[in-house]
Structure 1
Amino acid sequence: MDRPASPSARLEPSGAPATQVAVAPGERRWALVLMLAITTCAFMDRAILNTVGQAIRDDLGLSDLQLGLLGGVAFSLLYGTLGIPIARLAERSDRITIISVSVGLWSAMTALCGLASTFTHLLIARVGVGIGEAGANAPVQSFLSDLFPPDRRGTVIGILGLSVPIGIVVGGIGGAWVAEHYGWRAAFLVVGLPGLLLAVLARTTLRDRRQKTIAADVPGIRSVVDTLVASRGFRHMIAGAIITNFIGQAVLAFGHPFFVRSFNLSYTEGALYFALVNSASVAGGYMVGGYVVDRFVRRDLRFYGWIPGVLMLLAAPFYIIGFLQTEFWPALILLAIPGVFSASYYAPVLAVTQNLVGSRMRATAISIVLLAFNLIGMLFGPVVAGALSDVYFRHMLPTKLSASACANASPDIETVCRIASAKGVAYALATMCLLFVWAGAHYLASTFYLRRDLRHMRTIKD
């Protein structure tokens, strides 16, 4: 990963020389490792709610809709909308400073989630986590994209994507264990602490070598948007990514409750199996989308769309059949496979985004893409899944039994309610996964335009 880029690989989309920074191989590797740790910390802080969500629901008496709001609206509203102004600042300012402050803020707010005593308090704390994380993703990717040439950015994005499975394993299993033995509040406190150390490490060991500039020298948001939207291939890629992320956020929010409710598992057992289902397969998906796609696009740029397009069509049946299983082992096996398929979109979409724009536009372009993800995916994915789950739950109850009667019910009624709740979340997730077919169609449609839109990359050589 540390071989120098060839001159032909150092062209910006405009044809001007790129601002790829000359750094020592060791410094480049350390930057990638530390940024992977930071993005992993972000995902741990983001995913801890999914892990201990069932415990919070039981303790605070929440509905699935409220649980979906905590995982969706509370986090993504400011996470998405603040991303663009912070990215604009990152185009002309020290990105390491921005990243360090952001890590410290979201880690502190995660710890404060453990002090919440009501739904409203927890909602406010989750908004704070979203504010902090708004300043990390785009500056991180913009910083690393200046260290690596265009034909290796997909691999770098794929490596950063490993933060998802690592966060699931470390934060998911560890957070569930802490929640089961010490309570869900302690889990938030424990998960929030590592980010404070990472903030200090980033600030003291990394340098942003890109020259600072004034705002007037940075292309405007309109210019960035026009560059992206002018690409028909990008429009199809981002549409597919929005749909994929919409489904993915729903699965992340309710995958753990699915295992707990459907197979009568403890919180720790549910987190363990959910982590096993996601970690290895999702890691494979990010590497397929990053490392493998980078190798294939050297032959034909249309592989940016071909690979995720075909894999989305394969993901749908595995997920749907898996969520409809009533036996534990068939469900676990079926759901362990399609993460390789569904996670393959991430690196190609962001690699196409980065390769369409110049260095002073990348943080803004990435933030726009992430805003599109979050406005639809994080904002509505968990909420829609939660609402569907509540609808299916009520439909599964006997005619004379209302949902409100399940609270403090007799053992017999409690069993009926538990079965209805398990079927509700299973049917909701299966319904959401039908949309993978729609996403796959968009990725495949992008291949009609990507060679033309990325023609400046045809000079890239091995």
Structure 2
Amino acid sequence: MTTPLRSELTAPSSANSRQVTPAQAWYAVAILTIANVSGNVDRQILSLMVRPIKRDLHVTDTEVSLLMGLGFVAFYSVLGLPIGRWVDRGHRPRIVALGAAVWSVMTVITGGVRSYAGLFAARIGVGAGEATLGPAAVSIISDSFPRKSLGVAMSTYMLGTFAGSGIAYALTAFVVGRFSQPGLVAVPFVGNVFPWQLVFFFVGLPGLLVALLALTIREPRVLDATAIEANRAAQLPFAEVVRYMRANLRTIGALSLGFAFSASANYALVAWLASFLIRTYGWTEAQAGTLQGALTLTLGPLGVMLGGRLTDRWTRLGHIDAPLRVGMLGAAGMLVFAGLFPLMPTALLAGLMLVPVNLFAAMPWGAANAAIAEAMPARMRGQGSSFYQLVVNLFSGVVGPTAVALMTDKVFRDPLALRYSLSIVTVVAMSMAILLMAWGRPAFRATVQRLRTE
């Protein structure tokens, strides 16, 4: 006889699933969270390097925004589609391990290039490696937890996003604060690099250990020879996935675009907050990174776990659309506080406003992963998650940072007007997020209820 907790956590999602104990399920979440930390450290470290990158590579705000946006996100998003199909039929922990190895190696390579083109190409490689993590993690966690616990499980995984970002800011502030001078530094076996590039070696190499840890996760799906053959025979044509998404277009569209607009404001703040503090209040990179790191590392996890607990609580109360409710609440808080903080007359007031900004910015993201997992049948969950991430990351990663840069460069034509660009982009993006999620709530409820009866 199993315990109640075991019976909750071992509800297989398909014929090829096997039981996963609570300990194994939470161990998988722990390792995936560590992988998420590693990936986000590698992803976010450029945001504090805008000034030395512009100085040493002679580029504009818009070109830097492409490094933080298009260079990473395009391949991260597009490669997610074939990776999603691989996730739906392959050994998911091995997929995570391979991806972690790739993004770690490419991060180290970033530390050795000395041109804008080389930096852009290396960021593409980091994005290609990280494209494996999201679809695999959502699929593994969804197969290991029941619906009423999915919000907290997904939110725990999403802790890695904020912990990783906080570590990136703090580490970058430490390194750049000590090696921000112009010139070159000699690195053994690599050669001369710009001083700010040293941070890439510090954050890239530990990711190889993450790759090894990923191999210790138990695969919830049975992958013996018989099951593999059965899985191949039953493999879904991509056309069937497309038909399902078309039949549930309002649900999938509202989820993808609603959270994409929400994420675009987050991407913009991540990319330009340090530059805003430096340009508006005369801070140094080290001061900006310390504040950004402390807020993200402490309030980000608190916000995302609050969102997960709200999702599970509202789900237990019978609100099928609980993830969208949490998404709308987070967007509303961001609209107010993130719209106002760039306009504050002093750094102290801006810093105080950043406390609720960090809470509301983090709140929706465990709920968002839970929502797409609930809206897709288990047999196509990897591909559904990949499509969702394609829309969210490609839209937000390119539009968010670049919209702020273009407004600053082309509309205001003044670097000191960055504060107004941040405020405008945030208010517009969060207004659209709320409208799209509200529009999608009835369809989401209908989709989830229909899947429960199948």
Q: Tell me, yes or no, whether TM beats 0.5.
A: yes
Conservation of the 8 A alpha-carbon contact between 1:34 and 1:202: yes
User: Greater shift after overlay, 332-341 or 96-105?
Assistant: 332-341
Q: Is 1:137 aligned with 2:112?
A: no
Equivalent residue, structure 2, for 1:218: 235
Q: Is 1:192 aligned with 2:204?
A: yes
For residues 356-383 of structure 1, give each alpha carbon's deviation from its aligned partner in whole angstroms, at most 9, with x where no partner exists: 2233311111111000112211122212
Conservation of the 8 A alpha-carbon contact between 1:305 and 1:348: yes
Equivalent residue, structure 2, for 1:438: 432
Residues 388, 21 of structure 1: alpha-carbon distance in 2 compared, 3 angstrom cutoff: farther
User: Greater shift after overlay, 192-201 or 381-390?
Assistant: 381-390
Matching residue's letter, 1:192:
G
Distance 1:458 1:364 in 2: 20
Of 355, 360, 380, which residue of structure 2 is paired with 1:341? 360
Matching residue's letter, 2:172:
G
Q: Map of 1:19-418 to 2, 5 A cutoff?
A: 21-182=18-179, 183-203=195-215, 205-212=216-223, 213=228, 214-231=231-248, 232-299=250-317, 300-392=319-411, 394=413, 396=414
For residues 320-346 of structure 1, give each alpha carbon's deviation from its aligned partner in whole angstroms, at most 9, with x where no partner exists: 210112310000111221232233332
Equivalent residue, structure 1, for 2:188: none
For residues 24-47 of structure 1, give each alpha carbon's deviation from its aligned partner in whole angstroms, at most 9, with x where no partner exists: 333222211111000110000000
Matching residue's letter, 2:314:
F
The alignment partner of 2:261 has SS state of helix
Distance 1:290 1:34 in 2: 19
Q: Is 1:450 aligned with 2:450?
A: no
Residue 113 of structure 1 deviates from its aligned partner by 0.9
Matching residue's letter, 2:427:
L
Conservation of the 8 A alpha-carbon contact between 2:92 and 2:219: yes
Conservation of the 8 A alpha-carbon contact between 1:164 and 1:279: no
Distance 1:209 1:457 in 2: 21
User: Greater shift after overlay, 314-323 or 48-57?
Assistant: 48-57
Residues 85, 350 of structure 1: alpha-carbon distance in 2 compared, 3 angstrom cutoff: same
Of 417, 422, 425, which residue of structure 2 is paired with 1:429? 422
Distance 2:402 2:438 in 1: 28
For residues 286-309 of structure 1, give each alpha carbon's deviation from its aligned partner in whole angstroms, at most 9, with x where no partner exists: 223322211211221133222322
Distance 2:421 2:256 in 1: 24
Residue 21 of structure 1 deviates from its aligned partner by 3.6
Conservation of the 8 A alpha-carbon contact between 1:18 and 1:359: no
Residue 19 of structure 1 deviates from its aligned partner by 5.8
The alignment partner of 1:431 has SS state of helix
Distance 1:444 1:373 in 2: 17
User: Greater shift after overlay, 20-29 or 169-178?
Assistant: 20-29
Matching residue's letter, 2:369:
L
Residue 266 of structure 1 deviates from its aligned partner by 1.6
Q: Is 1:3 aligned with 2:5?
A: yes
Matching residue's letter, 2:420:
Y
Identity of aligned residues (%): 25
Distance 1:209 1:347 in 2: 21
Residue 50 of structure 1 deviates from its aligned partner by 1.4
Matching residue's letter, 2:264:
F
The alignment partner of 2:6 has SS state of coil
Q: TM-score, normalised by structure 2?
A: 0.88
Residue 129 of structure 1 deviates from its aligned partner by 0.7
Q: TM-score, normalised by structure 1?
A: 0.86
Residues 322, 92 of structure 1: alpha-carbon distance in 2 compared, 3 angstrom cutoff: same
Matching residue's letter, 2:244:
T
Distance 2:439 2:89 in 1: 35
Residues 20, 53 of structure 1: alpha-carbon distance in 2 compared, 3 angstrom cutoff: farther
Conservation of the 8 A alpha-carbon contact between 1:281 and 1:338: no
Matching residue's letter, 1:184:
W
Conservation of the 8 A alpha-carbon contact between 2:8 and 2:145: no
Conservation of the 8 A alpha-carbon contact between 2:100 and 2:210: yes
For residues 390-447 of structure 1, give each alpha carbon's deviation from its aligned partner in whole angstroms, at most 9, with x where no partner exists: 13552x4xxxxxxxxxxxxxxxxxxxxxxxx2x3221111111112112112222223
Residues 431, 112 of structure 1: alpha-carbon distance in 2 compared, 3 angstrom cutoff: same
User: Greater shift after overlay, 430-439 or 345-354?
Assistant: 345-354
Distance 1:323 1:167 in 2: 24
Conservation of the 8 A alpha-carbon contact between 1:68 and 1:382: yes
The alignment partner of 1:453 has SS state of helix
Conservation of the 8 A alpha-carbon contact between 1:165 and 1:275: no
Matching residue's letter, 2:198:
A
Distance 2:234 2:51 in 1: 49
Residues 392, 426 of structure 1: alpha-carbon distance in 2 compared, 3 angstrom cutoff: farther
Residues 10, 206 of structure 1: alpha-carbon distance in 2 compared, 3 angstrom cutoff: closer
Distance 1:297 1:257 in 2: 40
Conservation of the 8 A alpha-carbon contact between 1:158 and 1:287: yes
Residues 118, 21 of structure 1: alpha-carbon distance in 2 compared, 3 angstrom cutoff: same
Conservation of the 8 A alpha-carbon contact between 1:288 and 1:344: yes
Matching residue's letter, 2:423:
A
Matching residue's letter, 1:377:
S
Residue 456 of structure 1 deviates from its aligned partner by 5.2
The alignment partner of 2:327 has SS state of helix
Conservation of the 8 A alpha-carbon contact between 1:282 and 1:339: yes
Conservation of the 8 A alpha-carbon contact between 1:155 and 1:294: yes
Residue 73 of structure 1 deviates from its aligned partner by 0.9
Equivalent residue, structure 2, for 1:403: none
Distance 1:277 1:424 in 2: 24
Residues 271, 263 of structure 1: alpha-carbon distance in 2 compared, 3 angstrom cutoff: same
In structure 1, runs of 5+ residues without a counterpart are 397-420
Conservation of the 8 A alpha-carbon contact between 1:106 and 1:133: yes
